Structure 1
Amino acid sequence: MDILIRQAQSAEYGLLGEITAQAYLQDGLLDFGGSDPYLGVLRDVAARAAAAEVLVAVERDRVLGGVTFVPSGGPMADIAEPGEAEIRMLAVAHDARGRGVGEALVRACVDRARAVPGCARLVLSTQRTMHTAHRIYTRLGFTRTPDRDWNPLPELDDITLLTYALTL
């Protein structure tokens, strides 16, 4: 397996947006199915790329997945505080799972965070049911930070996101 992690190209934005949306839909992570307003956010890779760094995992010119790396705050940060970078919207195409794609994307974010001047920690939020992702984070040295868990939709009680941090 020869997976390359690199910055997403604008011609790949539509495909990566669909991979991300389908990953969330097929894993049952959206409350409103195909009409969930967050689908538009997941599909809008151009907006993410304008405010953060969007990385893709590619094998022989085929996009297998992607992640958004937020180096230092800005509109794409959900929980990052000063001195922290953040991982957002990690997604791998269903037919590419189990091959180390997600881990390669997270490792690339760790490497980028270590290169950000003054960055002491890499943080992320994840849904309770993303057990495979939780195993990746733990294996790479992230620890749970339950004091930072949060709910992006306070009107819905059952959407608490779990948080993890990696001290760099």
Structure 2
Amino acid sequence: MALLIAIFFIAGCASTTGARGQNGPNDSLWQGRLALKVHSTPVQAFTADFELQGNAEAGTLSFFTPLGSTAARLQWSTAGAQLQTSGEPQHFESLDALTLHTTGATLPIHSLFAWLKGNEPTTPGWQVDLRALADGRLTAQRLAPEVPADLKIILQR
């Protein structure tokens, strides 16, 4: 579980390549570094390179080791979600169920797509700072009602 938490919301370097025509008008691709720190007992922290593609309804979030191999891949659609690590894929009824399993709390993946596009949807319990998004940096904090968490993303330029 710590590996997946470390894989999820992180701080580092990422980049957007913009819309991808073959996937649909709302699909995008971002790459960079992500860091997630969950202030649980004990504190859990994760940092990894990532690639996020698709949209809030269907997409893939991949995390990579320092050597470039895939550490984990999360895939979701309206039919459910799947986590692929080194073993058999694990299936979940939803993206929220998958993030709850991997991090101990639901994470705002749907809002993340909007944040990366410069929008600030109301996300209960989360506060986002997009002031440095033009420089490829995004930070968000979960303040309530679940365990506090810090998410930092640096987009690859």
Global fold match (TM > 0.5): no
Higher helix share: 1
Q: Which has the higher contact order (CA 8 A, sep 6+)?
A: 2
Q: TM-score, normalised by structure 1?
A: 0.27
Higher strand share: 2
Q: Which has the larger radius of gyration?
A: 1
Q: TM-score, normalised by structure 2?
A: 0.28
